[in-house]
Structure 1
Amino acid sequence: MLIHPWDAAQDDTEWQRWLAVHDFGQLAVSGPPGEAPYVQPLHFVYDAGRAEVLTHLARPNPLWPALEAGPEVLLSVVDDYVYAPGYWQVAPDEPTEHGTPTSYYAAVQLRCRAHVVDDPAEKAALLNRQLGHFQPEGGSAEVAVGEVPYGRLLSGLRGLRLEVVDVRAKFKYAGRKPEVRERVLAGLAERGGPRDAAAREHLLRRHGA
């Protein structure tokens, strides 16, 4: 992922706060020789204090042999993306139709070393961490080895702990074009698309536009 200086995260806090509420991504794992990488969409819990990601997958998932052969993986998270039409991007002294369209988005890539969790008690603890994150209001029984309703399901899945070894974060929101920011802000507000409000908040937060 290309990251220009003007699109880089301002500090670790910026991407960590964003990742705390963007907890669905794609895990990329190297495939066997001659095959394309495996890519698995999944929910996850990011623990900033421990610099690790917790998740789980079904035991029949084809990723497991690939993970055991090559535990170096990449977790990619992208959201708050919008299309910016060319007439938003055009310089003030140029014809409107000469503007160059672009994409605005937030992206975090975590390079990790994968550790498979097969111990039943450790899997139960991992699942309870995920339940606590995604369902803090409760409403589900605790996962416990040998206990209903989830104990019998533990054998059908494997836990995954991803040790984060490097992070690349990008917030691409008109960082290099201060002269178009007011027009972009107005365009996002008027269009009101599914992610326009989030993109507008990034632009305001990062540039004080």
Structure 2
Amino acid sequence: MLIHPWDAARDGAEWQHWLTGRDFGQLAVNGPPGEPPFVQPLHFAYDPGRGDAVTHLARPNPLWPALEANPTVLLSVVDDYVFVPGPWQAAPEDPPEHGVPTSLYAAVQLTCTAHVVDDPQEKAALLNRQTGHFQPEGGSARAAAGEEPYGRMLPGIRGLRLEVLAVRAKFKYAGKKPAEIQERIAGGLAERGGPGDAAARGHLLRRREA
């Protein structure tokens, strides 16, 4: 992922705050020699204090042999993305139709060491941590090895603890553009009001003020 200086996260707090509000991404695992990578969409629970994320997958998933052969993986999360029409980006001295379309988005990529969790008790603890993230209000029984209702299901899954080694974060929100063009883009997003427009506009304005 190319990250220009004007698109880089201001500091660790910026990307951590953004990521703690998200819990779905894609896990990329190196494939066998001559094969493309495995890319697995999944829910996860990230904890900045622990410096890791937890998730689980079905035991028949073809990802496991490749992951065990090389446990260095990449967890990629992309959100708050929008398409910006060319006229919004046109330089003041140029006709609107000469503007170049672009995409605005936020992306965080976590390089991790993947630790496979097969011990039934550790796996149950991992599942409870993940469920606690998604259902903080409760409503489901806790997983416990050998106990109903989930104990008998534990052998069908394997847990994953992703230990974060490095982070690449990008906030591509017209950071290099002159103020006039940034204002035009912000106005266009506000007027269009499509999916993601409000979030993208918020990032543009926030990073401009910072």
TM-score range, shorter chain: over 0.9
User: C-alpha deviations, 1:45-65, integer Å up to 9, x for none?
Assistant: 111112111110000001110
Equivalent position amino acid for 2:136 in 1: P
Distance 1:77 1:60 in 2: 24
User: C-alpha deviations, 1:5-60, integer Å up to 9, x for none?
Assistant: 00000000100011011110000001111111000000001111121111100000
User: C-alpha deviations, 1:131-150, integer Å up to 9, x for none?
Assistant: 11011111101111111111
Matches within 5 A, 1:50-199: 50-178=50-178, 179-199=180-200
The equivalent residue for 2:208 is 207
Distance 2:64 2:143 in 1: 23
Once the two structures are aligned, what percentage of the paired residues are identical?
Answer: 76
Distance 1:188 1:130 in 2: 35
Q: Which runs of 4+ in 1 moved over 6 A?
A: none
Structure 1 stretch displaced more, 6-15 or 144-153: 144-153
Gaps of 5+ in 1: none
Gaps of 5+ in 2: none
Shift of 1:208: 2.3
Distance 2:9 2:17 in 1: 11
Distance 2:191 2:147 in 1: 53
Distance 2:40 2:177 in 1: 35
Shift of 1:93: 1.5
Distance 1:23 1:203 in 2: 23
Matches within 5 A, 1:14-53: 14-53=14-53
The equivalent residue for 1:5 is 5
Equivalent position amino acid for 2:40 in 1: Q
Distance 1:122 1:184 in 2: 49
Distance 1:155 1:105 in 2: 39
Shift of 1:99: 0.2
Equivalent position amino acid for 1:203 in 2: L
Distance 2:21 2:150 in 1: 26
Shift of 1:204: 1.2
Distance 2:86 2:123 in 1: 50
Secondary structure of the structure 1 residue equivalent to 2:25 = strand
